Amino acid sequence: MSFFGLDCARKKERESERRLRANDREYNLSFRYATNAIKTSKYNVFTFLPLNLFEQFQRIANAYFLFLLVLQAIPQISSLSWFTTVVPLLLVLTVTAAKDATDDINRHRSDNQVNNRKVKVLIDRKLRSEKWMEVQVGDIIKLENNQFVTADLLLLSSSGPMNLVYIETAELDGETNLKVKQALPVTGDLGDNIEKLAGFDGEVHCEAPNNRLDRFTGTLTFAGQKYSLDNEKILLRGCTLRNTEWCFGLVLFGGPETKLMQNCGKTTFKRTSVDRLMNVLVLCIFGFLAFMCAILAIGNCFWELNEGSEFTVFLPRQDNNDAAFSAFLTFWSYVIILNTVVPISLYVSVEIIRLGNSYYINWDRKMYYPRSDTPAEARTTTLNEELGQIKYVFSDKTGTLTQNIMIFNRCSINGKSFGEVYDSTGQRLEMNEYTEKVDFSFNPLADPRFAFHDHALVEAVKLENPEVHSFFRLLALCHTVMAEEKKEGELFYQAQSPDEGALVTAARNFGFVFRSRTPDSVSIVEMGKPCTYELLAILDFNNVRKRMSVIVRSPEGKLSLYCKGADTIIYERLHQSCKKLMDVTTEHLNEFAGDGLRTLALAHKDLDEEYFREWKKRHHEASTALDDREEKLEQLYEEIEKDLLLLGATAIEDKLQDGVPQTIELLARADIKIWVLTGDKQETAENIAYSCNLLREEMDEIFIVAANSPDDVRQELRTARTSMKPGSPDDSVFVQGRTLGKGVKVVRDEEVNGEYGLVINGHSLAYALESSMELEFLRTACMCKTVICCRVTPLQKAQVVQLVKKYKQAVTLAIGDGANDVSMIKVAHIGVGISGQEGMQAVLSSDYSFAQFRFLQRLLLVHGRWSYLRMCKFLRYFFYKNFTFTLVHFWYAFFCGFSAQTVYDEWFITLYNLVYTALPVLGMSLFDQDVSDVWSFQHPKLYTPGQVNDYFSKATFFKGAIHSCYSSFMLFFIPYFAMHDTVRDDGKDAADYQSFALITQTCLLFAVSIQLGLEMSYWTAVNTFFVLGSLMMYFAVTFAMYSNGMFLMLPSAFPFIGTARNSLNQPNVWLTVLLTSFLCVLPVITYRFLVMQLYPTINDKVMFKVRQAKAKLPPPSRRTRIRRTSTRRSGYAFSHAQGYGDLITSGRLMRRPAVTRSSGFTGRTTTGFSPMGRSAGYSPTARPQNVKAQDVEATSLQMYRTIEDPAL
């Protein structure tokens, strides 16, 4: 049974602890651990045909047509040839199988690309290059700089000092700032000595495979000693080794058991709500078909009993069958004849339409991003119309809304604000790429990528303003950044957070260059003069302190404390003499926050030598205490960080992607709710939410849920809910889901007055997602305009999306750019991947991908809405034309003795859906649009009908069915009575079966063509050609098949000899065609006229406005700078984590001695100088940022000024 994976499942259940031994494959193979190969494909050469056919015949329609094929093989039942079903069925199965095979081949290629990567593995005391898929648990492998981590590894040794390695975890948690891992000293001593590594036989006992990225527990037993293992010693698959020449690691988990793959979630087959509705309607149609066949079978029974006996003389019954058996056979005969109510061509046409609309997305130049040469891509062809029904958007933050680029934007020093540029009239200028930049040529060590526009700050530095110098000296000293200088003058800053990198790079450009550090010193260059400060203490950052300080001794022997942190925290510790400066700086901070910048306050103080010596002694005692160490240190920090003198404040921009605020505003006007699910800290997420207009000061209230117990979380959620809607019941109010089958409980939408926001952190969210509290959380969150979930794990992201899917009758979309977003992308109805800086994992798991968040508005409001509108029009029309075509048989049965005779020529039945009506409906479904893309942006409310299934629903379907019944009635009885007892011009009888069949099918074709014209809003040359061409094709084929020549070749196949030329030359025939067609569409014209006059829809209003404007495009709006006033300020560099201060002062983080260098300010030029750090675009990974493609113009945002229409 292991072939089906059952044995593997049992093994996983048993594994509560993993045991492995280094360099012992035989021992490790006994546990049958997974290899390092991954598999995302579904089929192989042997399983493709049976599995694919099994999946296809799970579709009700395909199984139904297979059943029809069996019926047609029975001569006593079938009145149609077998090929009328076999050919279309084979076509559908082949096309679908080819599409599935193509998709799976792409998955195989992706798997092979990963599995065949090379890595060096220690085998038989030699390093051998092996494929990833051949790596096994217990192997020791060697990684080199910029190489992907092959599997989940225990770090053994590295080239770095103290066996440190730097890794980038963008594929795992979306963060591009590098992280530090350190090997155990006992394994670090192995170094890169192959003999020692080959002789290493340590045994690891650790946790079983799981998806926790932030936790690892285990022990290493080596040389009789046991060592504790934690997450700081583990390298996870998906990470990238950076700034480390080499490292060795022991494989703990491979392939599907790695934490990356455990977090990928299960791939589910996604179907649109239209698909699900079609399945329900097909069941209803089957029921209706059975009902009609039953009526006709009963009619046959009565006819046989009452009238049939009169015909037995010249039409004897076969085998003396009685009336009941005749009725039984008639039932199945009519099942075959009336099967066209669900034609198999429906599904072929749907796939073609979806494919065409997918190509529109791929070809859209307005969704192409030239800087990275990235077009939009529809990675699936089955979900296009779902894009027009989105109600909830779940977005990642870092890399999705923002570029993860920190820019030193503004600052306030000693009560003066810097960073803005004013014209001669005193008006503030908006800065762009053409605004004059500050010239930093006086500083050879400046980063050329750093951009600043306010010349006053440089002048203040050059004039040696003491406050300005103290300001930048603090930025150059108070941090945990590491500097690397492989070549003289080429500085690379390795920062734990992008914020810190931006601040240190800013100080570097203004003349205070951080060069290097040791555990007890910091070396900087101050305006060309090298200085080394003695580092006496680092008072590190944590989430409670929200500040960090350093205590240094200057070369002159002066003792100083420099502190930076959240302004509210710093203000509490300032000296009384700073009150006036505080008030001025507060105004500047409010202005910075109003622009959505991340602010930081800076302060310092001079220390007394005697006091510091005594404080340092107590600090040493506290840091070595076994009990209450954290509390004792915190008291000492509080003691020394007081009576500070305020220096000023910094303002950093976490640069948003272009067009994010405008996109969010437009989606909000389309009644789409946006939830941000981010792994970042609460303060960071709030700040970005304000920057991109998700949270606004104008909101009635913003609720923050940050409790640490289930009861407190429940209480805070209830308090928020009752504040928004007093008197709301405690229990959730359910409504019955709109799908048949399983009774789906749907939480009813609750209207509130006002706009509210909800912010909830990861701890509280874990409680809120428990089964006893999930509905309380859902009700409260859905009342809010915006929801921000902070510090969430990848699994929690998926759980939030699943919660909304489960209890809300709404379509969800998840958008992200990192591996930490894969789970929610797979769970949501629609998954969108952004191909940004965090790898391609999200894109590979997505349904749609593009390069910028702003393209989401075009994907939804243009492509999504058009696709949904076209699909709904197609289904309404397709069911109408086929119901009308089929129900004529029903009326005819009452006039042919219920004998299962067809009313049309057999060739017409075969070609009706294949030739005569196929292209016109496809033309409408591929080219139709109610309004242009410009007007779609102008009026985002046009999107809302799709959210409530206005264009196609059960009610719409049944209205169309009633119209079809009426049309079929007209199509049968008007020609019947018009031709009854009628003679031709030459006096011959005009009423015979063949003439009546020809007139009826001609009337049908004209009626459905006119109906198609009424459905279309946008006529193109292609549409016109398809409609007129199909009518011409009908007459050409009809005259050819009813000709003498075809009859002479195959008399039995072409019995309608001469019917076309004898009937279609009569004026009364054409009058009958015109009258029938007019009466068929008259109710539609009347109904639409009345609705448009009395109850116009949003589409009617906008289309009327378009006609009034004579289709002139409104001018695109100019992008204006959005400013807001705010009393809210962000705090510290919030992506900073605790613990770097200890690493620095312990010496474990130090590099080997740097190259000998001069100060760099004298006798040097900048020729060939290409520093790797940056601030205006600081990147902790040293990858080029904001590099504009050569000779390529950046695309505009395609945003247009909003014109409010009171009538809308």
Model confidence at 840, pLDDT cuts 50, 70, 90, reads low
User: For strand 203-207 and strand 17-21, is the pairing parallel, antiparallel, or unpaired?
Assistant: antiparallel
Q: Quote the pLDDT of residue 267.
A: 58
DSSP 976-1018: HHHHTT-B-TTS-B---HHHHHHHHHHHHHHHHHHHHHHH-S-
Average pLDDT over residues 539-562: 87
Closest CA to 1183 of 216, 501, 487: 501
Q: What is the pLDDT of residues 1050-1060, one digit of tens each?
A: 766 677 776 77
Flag the least confident range among 501-510, 773-782, 1106-1115: 1106-1115
Tokens of 870: 């076209």
Tokens of 1128: 């809210």
Q: Quote the pLDDT of residue 890.
A: 93
User: For strand 17-21 and strand 118-123, is the pairing parallel, antiparallel, or unpaired?
Assistant: unpaired
Q: Quote the pLDDT of residue 1181.
A: 38
Distance CA 1188, CA 1190 (A): 6
DSSP class of residue 1159 equals: -
Q: What is the pLDDT of residues 897-950, one digit of tens each?
A: 888 888 888 888 888 888 889 899 999 999 998 888 888 999 999 999 999 888
Q: Quote the pLDDT of residue 626.
A: 65
Task: Look over the chain and give the mean of its residue pLDDT values, rounded to a whole number.
Answer: 82
More confident residue, 309 or 366: 366
Model confidence at 361, pLDDT cuts 50, 70, 90, reads very high
Which residues on neighbouring strands pair with residue 144, listed in sequence order?
A: 246
DSSP class of residue 181 equals: E
- In the predicted model, is pLDDT for residue 444 greater than 80? yes
Tokens of 565: 């942190």
> Would you name the residues annotated as active-site residues?
396
Which residues on neighbouring strands pair with residue 141, listed in sequence order?
A: 121, 249
Q: What is the pLDDT of residues 17-76, one digit of tens each?
A: 899 999 999 999 998 899 999 887 888 888 899 988 888 887 777 887 888 888 877 777
Distance CA 378, CA 375 (A): 10
Angle ∠(679,685,686) on CA atoms, nearest 5: 155
**Interacting residues of 1016 by C-beta distance below 8 A, sequence separation 6+:** 924, 928, 1023
More confident residue, 16 or 20: 20
Model confidence at 399, pLDDT cuts 50, 70, 90, reads low
Which residues on neighbouring strands pair with residue 25, listed in sequence order?
A: none
Average pLDDT over residues 122-126: 91
First and final C-alpha spacing in the chain: 63
Flag the least confident range among 36-45, 98-107, 209-218, 731-740: 731-740
DSSP class of residue 939 equals: -
More confident residue, 490 or 826: 826
Closest CA to 1057 of 1066, 1045, 1069: 1045
Tokens of 954: 């059960």
- In the predicted model, is pLDDT for residue 1180 greater than 50? no
Q: What is the pLDDT of residues 516-532, one digit of tens each?
A: 887 788 999 999 899 99
- Burial tier of 75 (Cβ tally within 10 Å: 0-12, 13-18, 19+): exposed
- In the predicted model, is pLDDT for residue 11 greater than 60? no
Average pLDDT over residues 170-179: 66
Q: Quote the pLDDT of residue 1140.
A: 59
Average pLDDT over residues 644-654: 90
Flag the least confident range among 22-26, 362-366, 448-452, 1153-1157: 1153-1157
- In the predicted model, is pLDDT for residue 311 greater than 70? no
Cβ-contact 479, 552 below 8 angstroms: no
Model confidence at 1025, pLDDT cuts 50, 70, 90, reads very high
Upper half-sphere CA count for residue 1027 (Cβ side, 13 Å)? 21
Q: Which residues of 1057-1077 are buried (b: 16+ CB within 10 A; e: fewer)?
A: bebbebbbebeebeebbeebb
Closest CA to 260 of 170, 172, 141, 154: 172
Q: What is the distance of C-alpha 1029 from the center of its chain?
A: 42
Cβ-contact 943, 950 below 8 angstroms: no
Q: Quote the pLDDT of residue 871.
A: 93
Q: Quote the pLDDT of residue 735.
A: 61
- In the predicted model, is pLDDT for residue 1183 greater than 50? no
Distance CA 1160, CA 527 (A): 10
DSSP class of residue 1030 equals: H
DSSP 292-356: HHHHHHHHHHHHHHHTGGGGTTTSPPGGG--HHHHHHHHHHHHHHHGGGGS-THHHHHHHHHHHH
Distance CA 990, CA 1066 (A): 9
User: For strand 786-789 and strand 756-760, is the pairing parallel, antiparallel, or unpaired?
Assistant: parallel
Average pLDDT over residues 374-394: 90
Percent of the chain with pLDDT over 90: 36
DSSP class of residue 160 equals: S
Q: Quote the pLDDT of residue 310.
A: 63
Model confidence at 2, pLDDT cuts 50, 70, 90, reads very low
pTM over 0.75: no
- In the predicted model, is pLDDT for residue 979 greater than 90? no
Tokens of 892: 């005819």
Distance CA 211, CA 192 (A): 31
Model confidence at 176, pLDDT cuts 50, 70, 90, reads low
- In the predicted model, is pLDDT for residue 228 greater than 90? no
- Burial tier of 645 (Cβ tally within 10 Å: 0-12, 13-18, 19+): middle
Cβ-contact 1131, 589 below 8 angstroms: no
User: H or E segment at 112?
Assistant: helix 83-115
Distance CA 957, CA 1053 (A): 37
